[in-house]
Amino acid sequence: MHHLVLAAVVIITIIYVVLPLIFRYSAAFQRQLVFLPYTIGLRWPIKVNYSQPKIHGLQGTRNFYLPTAPKVHVGVWHVLPRDLVDTFSENTETSLANGNPIVLYLHGNSGSRATGHRVELYKLLQFHNYHVIAFDYRGFADSSQVLMSENGATIDAIRVYEYIRLFSGKSTVIVWGHSLGSAVAIKMVASLCAVKQSPDRLILESPFNNIRDVFRNHPLTLIYRPLSVVDRFFTERLETNNVAFDSDVHIAGVECPTLILHARDDRIVPIFLTRKLYEAGLKSRPTNAAALQFIEFPPDLHCGHECIYSAPQLPSIIQQLVDLDGF
């Protein structure tokens, strides 16, 4: 019995004292918990050969590496539209100007560009004749293992976007951010709009208003809420450590047509955080900004946080955005 009591005390001390203190005072630990790059081993597939996308069921897909900063490169997949798969070669850049829409996909935290639900979205978009450019931020997968931060992820995204624009010609370019990737997308697009280099469209899947509110409402912080220590130990230093992801602030600078997608049964990012982001966008964007639209998916579709790709109406929703039908 004595050993059980001692073990319980140790566990409680670690959970309620050690972990909060480490999170508050270790910037590196805080960034790791925001980005979760090392959880790749906990998600399928466990072992990934990024140089062979075909192993993951992706036909007509090129793997390559792109420099985004001094001594930093990111791993990238270019998934060709279905109609171009038979013409696949290692020189796929010129095909970006063929008129098929191009989706630059920014994934959320944990896993990699090869994580299952992400690959399923690529396949869906490929089937409907979109190019897909998907990459891993610095610190993830086979990208450079360097310090991660909000600014670093945003720089990586901007550099990949600039690469696309070198070859895209008049093709429509859509930035698509999921979860944490939506925050990267918003900050990136706001920066691009400020210098008149905006993408043509923006899709925000399962986004949130800011990372502080995500922590306050995340299932993993539930045990700390009765003690009123979530802000003191988990959110006070997010901005200082360059992981605040204040999307409700940055969305004021987004001027291109924007579509928000969220499932009502999302247990990771509660839908009311997405509604806060939407309301912030409506209030803060310039009067001449393009339309901002919000579509909710009902619980009976079982989309959750990661499976909006499975919603039967998604392809037509995306096509309406491309055509600006109803925007």
Phi and psi angles of residue 123, each rounded to the nearest 5 degrees, phi first: -60, -40
Q: Measured at the alpha carbon of residue 79, what is the angle toward residues 310 and 324, in degrees to the nearest 5?
A: 60
Six token digits for residue 6: 């001692």
Two structure tokens written together for 179 = 């979860």
Choose among 106, 50, 107, 54: nearest CA to 80.
54
Which residues are within 8 A (CB) of 112 and not within 5 positions of it... i.e. 6 or more apart? Answer: 40, 48, 50, 136, 140, 141
302 classed as catalytic: no
- Token readout for 214 is 């995500």
Catalytic residue, candidates 179, 191, 206, 247: 179
3-state secondary structure of 272: helix
Classify burial at 277, counting beta carbons within 10 Å of its beta carbon; exposed 0-12, middle 13-18, buried 19 or more: buried
Cβ atoms of residues 303 and 311 within 8 Å: yes
> Which of helix, strand or coil describes residue 210?
coil
Phi, psi angle pair for 77, to nearest 5° = -115, 135
Please tell me whether residue 124 adopts helix, strand or coil conformation: helix
Place of tokens 């204040």: 246
Element containing residue 29 per DSSP (H, E): helix 27-35
The catalytically annotated residue of 142, 200, 248, 266 is 266
The active-site residue out of 107, 117, 262, 305 is 305
At which residue do the structure tokens 């670690």 appear?
A: 14
C-alpha–C-alpha distance, residues 109 and 32, integer Å? 10
User: What values do phi and psi take at 276, rounded to 5?
Assistant: -60, -40
Q: Tokens for 90?
A: 């290692």
Does residue 2 have an active-site annotation?
Answer: no
To the query of whether residue 78 is one of the catalytic residues in this protein, the response is no
Residues labelled as active-site residues: 179, 266, 305
